[in-house]
Structure 1
Amino acid sequence: MAQVSLPYSQAFDNEQAFKTFTVIDGNGDGTTWAYDDLNYQAACNRNSSASADDWLVSPKFHFVKGVKYELKFSAKTVQDGTTEHFLVKLGTSATDTTSFSQTLIGDGSADNSYSAKNYSASFTVAEDGDYYLGFHYLTPRQTYSSGLGIDDINLTGSVEETKSSPKAVSGVTLKYDYSGGLTTLKWKAPTQFEDGTDISSPLTYAVRRVGSTDYLVNGYQGTTFHEQVTLRDMPASSVKFGQALLRYAITATCDSMTSAVAYSPFKVVGTPDELPYSETFSDGTIHHFWGESHTGHGRWGEMAVSNKYTHDSDGGVFNFTAAANDESSLGFSGLISLKGASNPVLSFWYEYMNSNEDEADTLEVQVSKNGGEFTTLTQVDVNSEDNLRSWQHAEVSLADYVGSDFIQVGFLIKSHTGTTCIYLDDVDIYNQVGKDLAVTDVSHPGRLRTDESRKSVVKVENVGADAVAGSSYTVAVKANGRTIGQAEGRDLAGGSSVEIEIPVTAPVVLNSDSVDYYAEVDFDGDENLTNNSSDTIRMAVALPSLPRPNNFVAVAATDGIQLNWQQPDAPRATSTAVTDSFESAPDFTISDWGDWTLFDGSKVGVYGVSSCDFPNNGAPQAFTVFNPTAAGASDSWKAHTGNKELVSFSAVGLRSDHWLISPTLSGEAQTLKFYARAYSKSYEEDFEVLTSTSSVDTSDFQSLASAQIKKDNAWKEYSYDLPAGTRYFAVRVTSEDAFALLFDDFTFVPDSTGAQNVVLTGYNVYRDGENIAALPSTTVNFTDASAGAGKHIYNVSAVYDKGESVLSDSQTADIADGITVVNTEKADNGQIYDLQGRCVRNVNVPGVYIRNGKKFVVK
């Protein structure tokens, strides 16, 4: 480890700074010191099953006998309400903890996670040599988890103990020439020592970049410093998304005494991002350069949170949480180019929370132009009673900055109490035109059906400046490019949005068990077509199990395309019950899966499992496919059979309205069975069973029975007789202020294995995906005389009194080429049929025949 010169300061501004320290996991429990990028400190979490024994060892220093050294640092807890203990020692090895024999602080403790506690220690060494500072975290084992954070380490040394250090430099300015990379750093020299006496001896200065321990100059005598620096000169570890923060630290030295560190303003260097700009902070990560500056310990930072705390349900926000009274923090973007924009607009969402609502905090939107100072553009009224604890949208014009080389946007929070918390999400900058509609969200069924409609809800936002009449646009849902549902729009003012419900049905002509599914808006005169469609997802299709026509063939003849097929196989005559234990369902999904449908009527967060970390924990939901092993949960969550179960966590603050809707049933009278239990005996859990004869829409269900679980958490089988005509059953959880209701092993007869009491009524004929004929059930051939020249794809389906089958295999016929002629086939090559569907033993008679669904010609 390289030797570090004094004066030394470490604010842990980035992970690279943390990596200059050595970490020793003394008890080998895998929980030890790491970089805390939310609080910009070195932090060690404590394992609740073991006492802490972890060392954070500084870089190497060369100490001299007779010099008095002064150590200062701050410490705080990771979780509030705990007391964490540590020692600070001096040693001669970075890896041998037994070398730390000189104690500097023997009774260190921290008991607050908001306000850090400052520590200092003066010491000398007995011999000249290389030494290391060791921060030894050693809190005894506790039943709860917490940890210790160390920050703002400063170390100075002086030969004469009676001398005072000079005051820090002041008036630091930083100019950066973005065209050539020349930095000009200026400061004012201190005129007094810390004890108030005047400085009469010469001053020298040390300058380094923040984030580096290497001095650019040391012993420098001027008060203006120049450096030619570009992004290539910055450490690779400090470059994020093609940009980096440039800031300097300056100390003054007089009579061998060194001042505290003074910091320059900051500049961001690199290549500006282009419009449209979007930052979602998904999963607590950034996708562009972001930085912050602060007073106190509260500061902006990206943070991973449960989806229920985000605006866009992507697991991340930009967060400021106050650590003490009267703090402020500026969170700022990197460089953003407005090139080509005539009307740029900043859009963002925020949620403000403050338990002390009498103190008015402020949130200012600030802008820096071409690397200049940040100035306030507008102030957001976060204190409005209507805005508290709910997501609010703000939109700010950036038109005044058109023509700039680049800008930066900043969010300055001024907090007056230690209880302030604010989230930012979905920060967007785009060029706003007059007419611009965007599809911003789509909620969709877990699976499409061919025999009934499902609901898709499409969110359309007017991101243009002009109001839009609903009659001027339509919204369509598409599968494999084919429209499967469409609705007329609704009136939208500029900046507003609407959710449009669209019934969707998968036509059998899609002929696939999965499709590319998306929504799009068609707006006459839209000036921006790049946001008219949603992302495409792969959507499952529940295909009908009705028998389809057999041995379909299509050939070209002189009078058109001749189509021939055989009648379908007989429908199933018996039913078979199935048991679904959800072992094949995706872990922790809260969306529809397979043929099951979920509906959350509560639409609020639920009580999660605080001791576990798993997707959608606490998010608004009806049910989740819970895998206790994958969640790291205890055996108290064990499923009835297998590894998985369904869990309905209770809604927070109101009665649950959580629906689980079955796959399509056979329609015959049958008995439904399943197992259920409450997680805890301490809560009363309620549910009811309902049936529907038509669709999965909750308004179509009628209550069949209800149940209540009191002071019991054992698995119990429930059984219900479903009347004939039932197409779906539903389990609706209605518990109030409870915790969790568990379900497993549903036994029933689905449509896919039920007896098919159907009557064949006819056939549909398709050419190139379009229905060209509807035929009676007695007809098993058709001639298409209207097909144009070229190749065509044909299919046929069987139509029953209860629906339509899937399509037959596709056949291709070519009008231009005619029928391909092959040699005479022998009868022993497989069963052979003529075009009337008759099985023939010999093929001596010239004509067209079918074998294994393929045509051949005998001459």
Structure 2
Amino acid sequence: MRIHYIKRVALSLCAAMSLGLSATSQAGQSVTNAQNAQAEPLTPPYSETFADESFLESYTIIDSNQDGTKWEPYFGKVQISYNSELAMDDWLITPALNLEGGKMYSFSVNILTGNGTTQETFEIMFGKDKTPEALVNPIIEKTSIAHTVYKAYTGTISPTESGIYYIGIHGCSSADTYSISVNNLTVGAAAGASTPSAPSNLVVNTRTNGELKADISLTAPTLDLNGQDLTELESVKLMRDGNLIKTFSTPEPGSELTFVDEVPECSRYTYSAIAVNASGESPAVETKAFVGTLEPSDPTGITLVETSTPGEVTIGWTPVTTDIRGNNLDPEFVTYRIYSEGSQSNLLFSNISGTSKTFKALDDTSVQTFVQYSVVAEAKGGISNYVYSPLLPIGPAYSTPYHESFAEGKASHIFGIYPEDYALWSTYTTEESEIESQDGDNGFLGSEGSYSEDTGTFDTGKIDLSGLTTPTLTFYIYNNHRRRRSKQ
């Protein structure tokens, strides 16, 4: 993983050179300035995804500790990596922003770290120049985090006077950590101080009963961006993937708001909400959630029996009531498929409701054969694993006396093996095994495993024992490991 970071540095330096960047050293720090910087300051709203390397044309990158490791593009984000001996001291600075004094600007950025337990530290500041010395006004105070999924970190920018400002993200982790990754930096439009703060407690709970619905709750804000009590709200707007799905009109500040959202398909969605009053729109609160059902858990309790009708079988199973994560799943929304011979390609029946299926399994009822099937549970979220039924011999039973010697390595009766066993049974001849058969007919059935705990199972076909007073089973075994024969 650490070599992986070193390779990335080399690639990014080449990219920087192709964009015509210049590297200088100022006051004990390495500065990368974009020569194609914006001629005019940008007026928010402003956003940068860092999805490609074009941001290098307008951002300033400062390697304050001059260790050669600095903020750089990496697979659709911008990232700073560790130094084994030096603490991070690296800045990523936005283009010039034209901000109005007395206004407030919402700020948001998504951040993740390279490890879920190792703490990384950052702070986000703003100021009137793109230098660490000028970036002294906090947007987000120094914060230590450890999470490997993106989380949004938010704050507000409140300049006291109008002018040109810059925002700097300062990576300041301890030495020998991992990395900090950033994407989706946004600065909202200018808002008055009495603009609402963001709604809170946005929670999305998917229904696990098969419905493509989510139960959403959130809390209307109680304060404005200046920390004063709100007296009124025009609305709270709820969005899914940026599209408005519900407007709560004139809600009371601090009130609990609920909504049931019906989605078009099982998928992961981004929900966000803003509050609105006469002064403007609040910053957004955002969360991501999977809505819909997940794959059902595997069927259990599979049975396979022959009915009284020749060649007909009934396969049954226990109803599936949970998804793969153990959430409750209404059996009403679960159907089943049946595949032949344990196969994942030969579909026999689908869209089966209930917990059993009776069907003709054998056309020629004069010959005994084994059958086996797979059962699959299906819901809107997908399908379960294929689960085998037992092997079942159907057709006329063999009469007694019954004798099978596997002469010449071939069976004269059917027998069934379980392919999932580790010690698989198979027929052998003396020539291929270098083991003499007990009765000298050049054939036997054997099982071979790799480890002492490996097991294997085989089944004979049906044998008619009617009329026998004391049925007796006799067989010979030979253990190749112990070189011993015995009769049982």
TM-score by length of 2: 0.44
TM-score by length of 1: 0.27
